[in-house]
Amino acid sequence: MSHISANKDSLIKRVKRIAGQIQAVENALESDADCAKTLHLVAATRGAINGLMEEIIEEHARAHVADPSLSDEARNQGVEELLEAIRRYSK
């Protein structure tokens, strides 16, 4: 079982909450809601996505970088995967 699978239910709940937040942003835009309200909805959504990303990054780092049983090759691959994800996320 992968480390993501072990925490799958929690991650799926987070994603469903994020989907609800995205829907709220869409609804605000469609209903011409006040821009301040829409900004707050977008900020909350971004915060939720950041939280999801942080959790997955932490799990990846623990399982694919910090695990003492990993070979140097596996650890290096885990670091490269992590760095690539961070690069993509920060663009």
Range of the domain at 40: 7-90
Report the domain count for the chain: 1
pLDDT in tens, 69-90: 999 999 999 999 999 999 998 8
pLDDT above 70: percentage of residues in the chain:
98
Residue 2 lies in a domain: no
Is the pLDDT at 49 greater than 60? The verdict is: yes
Residue 74 lies in a domain: yes
The C-alpha atoms of residue 18 and residue 11 are separated, in whole angstroms, by 11
* pLDDT of res. 87: 93
The C-alpha atoms of residue 51 and residue 15 are separated, in whole angstroms, by 10
The reported pTM is 0.85
CATH number at residue 15: 1.20.58.1000
Write down the mean pLDDT value for the chain.
94
For residue 34, give Cα distances in angstroms to 20, 37, 69, 71. 19, 5, 54, 54
